Structure 1
Amino acid sequence: MQTKSGARRVHAGWYAGAFLLVLALVGAVLYGTGAFGSGDEKGALDRACDGSLAQGGLGEALHSSDLRADGEDDGGYLAACRVRTHESGPQGSSLELKLRWSTTKAPSEALTWYNADYDGVREQAAPLGHGWSGVVRYAGGTYQVMAALDCVNQKDKALVAYGDLLGASNGTTLTGLGRVTTETAAKAAEKHGCQVAVGERLTGLSTARLGAPATAKPLARAQGSCAALRGTDAAVAGTPEIMEYPADPDAPQTNCYLVTKAKKPGYGLYAYYGAAAKDFLASEGDQLEKGYGPTHGDRDYAWATATCPHSAQRSVFVLYHLHDGDTDTYPVPHYSASFARDTLRAFADHEAKQRGCTDVRVTQGS
């Protein structure tokens, strides 16, 4: 005959077993859906990029919470890491981050993409906005977020971050990439005693790109990055329209394109500041800085420099006669050196005024 105490022990044991079974089932479901990974994987994320990886936007960037972090050869960078989903092949995505100080050797052209700035709109750079010193770049089906955060307590030094997204992209993934890149840069800067001005949490980054005919508009309606050119004789030079990005005095790079009646970019104007200017000059083999101009063979160009606050590096302004890679032609057949010089002067003067820069010097190119 079973006693009451024995019955209670049986019931207690049954409840405990059922509770453990429920916990096991819940854990299996959560693990299978990626709600949490293994301790090793979580630890790898915490250690990634020398412990500076900001994880807030990873799920958005990679459309998954089941992630793993891989060590990357730092290649002389302050830190480097890669985060990827468990899927392989076309279904898989990955995010690569590289961090460096602006005082170290500039990265390769493959990372900064400045070697495409004469080829139509391939070297696109839209401002991040939200108070961040950064841009969204697009080339060859890949998006990159570049952020350059000046150290306010260490003159002429900035923490530069490059985040590349490999895989399917949309507004959500791009916003996630922006968050991871900027927040990782800020976290790394703080870790190393570099005090930086941070922006607001990034939201609503767009994958919209310039280049399609619908992105062109009359020069008279320019109000963003091409606003300075409204009073120029660009229409006479064969480029009565523009393709532009919103104006942003925090962005380390500004792009503006003058467009023909056929909606083809004929001239590209670019401004580079601080760390971005240094990277651009390095990509040109320091030819601009030495007074020789860009090294793109027989490309036609004009360039200028200016002294700007927060950096000993002079800012650089460049106008290129653009080549159309699709047709292997120049949408503006005949390059006008005088038009290029005057247009670049208007662009550089306007940019300098917006940034508090002085001593604008225009140099004729090829």
Structure 2
Amino acid sequence: MQTKSGFRRVHAGWYVGACLLVLALVAGVLWGTGTFGSGGDEGSLDRACDGTLAQGGLGEALHSSHLRADDEGDGDYLAACRVRDSESGAQSGSLELKLRWSTAKAPSTTLTWYNADYDGVREQAAPLGHGWSGVLRYAGGTYQVMAALDCVNQQDKALVAYGDLLGTSDGTTLTGLGRVVTETARKTAEKHGCQVKAGKRLTGLSTARLGAPGTAKPLPRAQGSCAALRGTDAARGDTPEIMEYPADPDAPQTNCYLVTKAKKPGYGLYAYYGASAKDFLASEGDQLEKGYGPTHGDRDYAWATATCPRTAQRAVFVLYHLYDGDTDTYPVPHYSASFARDALRVFAGHEAKQRGCTDVRMTARP
């Protein structure tokens, strides 16, 4: 017969077992969410970028849970930090993040990457989508997410973030990079009293890039960033095909490429808005201060501007006669100034209408 003391021992065993089970479940949740056990330096991550570094997405961006962060103090930025795998040494991949106000001095061209927009499709900028004002850019083997979030409660001011991913990249790492950059930008803006319109959680960013023959299609099939040129006589410019990105009225930059029969980009058309336009103009130097267009030495181009809502910075629209660095040639041998102006006028007019911009002005070359 079971004694009372026996019952007490059984009950005590149940209680101990139940407590252990609960503790195991809690530990599993904390481990899964990265609260502890990541093997990295959580304190450095919490302090990084003035305490605004968004940690969701870091593991995916760097394929590691052993992470530490270092602030990279720089008076030119509101905040700057670098995150790396703490176990892989100096040769491992890293994520570098810089944030600034659009009203501050524009950064160097090494950060903004606009110095290659005349060189084929090397200066690529795909819209982030999901309601974010940003682009995924690629140049020289490196990916960057640039986001520019307007302060809805402060006229003509935006929080601009640049996140560079150094190391191997795939869809998972790029999506992680995009989440880190956009969410850090949102947190930083709100910390400083800048109310922003945030997008949804980013998913599905891809390493796919324009330039391969399979990315070209006939001009009449244009539906995205080149849709404005559908129905125009682009064949007159020796470019009957296009390479384009999905249309996105939230993106601070739009790229469209007119392509030759040999599947080579012959003309590049670009639109820049707000902080992106300011960065672009700063990269062009003193020539623009005098009211002239982009320089790039003797490059052939056409350009235009427009007035857009919520910003004093005029939008900039540019067409470049593209150079192919791989073959050291121009896919369109002879630049047509009249075709360039006609194509840019149509492109700029369509872009301006989509964004609610007015007063489109074609600007004379020096």
TM-superposed CA distance for 1:292, in Å, is 1.5
Structure 1 portions without partners, runs of 5+? 1-15
Please, what is the CA RMSD of the aligned residues? 2.7
Conserved 8 A contact 1:35-1:66 = no
Give me the whole-angstrom Cα distance separating, in 1, the residues matched to 2:303 and 2:59: 42
Match in the other structure for 2:128: 128
Could you report, residue by residue, the CA deviation over 1:261-299 in whole angstroms, capped at 9, with x for unpaired residues? Answer: 000000000000000000000000153353221120100
In 1, Cα distance between equivalents of 2:299 and 2:310: 32
How far did residue 35 of structure 1 move?
7.9
User: Unpaired segments of 5 or more residues in structure 2?
Assistant: 1-15
**SS in structure 2 at match of 1:235:** helix
Quote the Cα distance in structure 1 between the aligned partners of 2:318 and 2:40: 49
In structure 2, the residue matched to 1:192 is 192
The 1:38/1:62 distance shift into structure 2, 3 A limit, reads closer
Calculate percent identity across the aligned residue pairs: 86
Q: Does 1:170 align with 2:134?
A: no
The aligned counterpart of 1:10 is: none
Q: Deviations over 1:298-317 (max 9, x none)?
A: 00000000000111000000
Q: Would you say 1:102 and 2:102 are equivalent positions? A: yes
Matched, 1:355 2:332: no
Give the match for residue 201 of structure 1. Answer: 201
Moved more, 225-234 or 35-44: 35-44
Q: State the shift of 1:75 in Å.
A: 4.1
Aligned 8 A contact 2:292 2:364 in 1? no
Q: Equivalent residue for 1:6?
A: none
Cα offsets for 1:325-344 (capped at 9, x unmatched)? 01111000000010000000
1:213–1:223: structure 2 CA closer, same or farther, 3 Å change rule? same
Q: Does 2:342 correspond to 1:317?
A: no
Name the TM-score, length of structure 1 as normaliser: 0.89
Label 1:315 to 1:286 Cα distance change in 2 as closer, same or farther (>3 A). Answer: farther
Q: Is the CA contact 1:90–1:167 (under 8 Å) kept in the aligned structure 2? A: no
The alpha carbon displacement at 1:38 in A equals 7.9
Report the Cα distance in structure 2 between the residues aligned to 1:119 and 1:75, rounded to whole angstroms. Answer: 32
Distance 1:38 1:333, change over 3 A: closer
TM-score (norm 2): 0.89
- How many corresponding residue pairs? 348
- Rounded Cα–Cα distance in structure 1 between residues aligned with 2:77 and 2:181: 15
Pairing 1:298–2:293 present: no
| Maintained 8 Å contact 2:162/2:181 | yes
Match of residue 284 from structure 1: 284
Supply the distance in 1 between the matched residues of 2:70 and 2:292 (Cα, whole angstroms): 42
Does the CA-based 8 Å contact 1:126-1:135 persist in structure 2?
A: yes
Aligned to 1:4: none
Structure 2 CA distance for aligned equivalents of residues 207 and 122 of structure 1: 14
**Secondary structure of residue in 2 paired with 1:236:** helix
Residue 42 of structure 1: aligned partner: 42
Quick one: distance in 2 between partners of 1:40 and 1:163?
Answer: 21
Indicate the residue corresponding to 1:249 in structure 2: 249
Q: Which moved more, 1:38-47 or 1:136-145?
A: 38-47
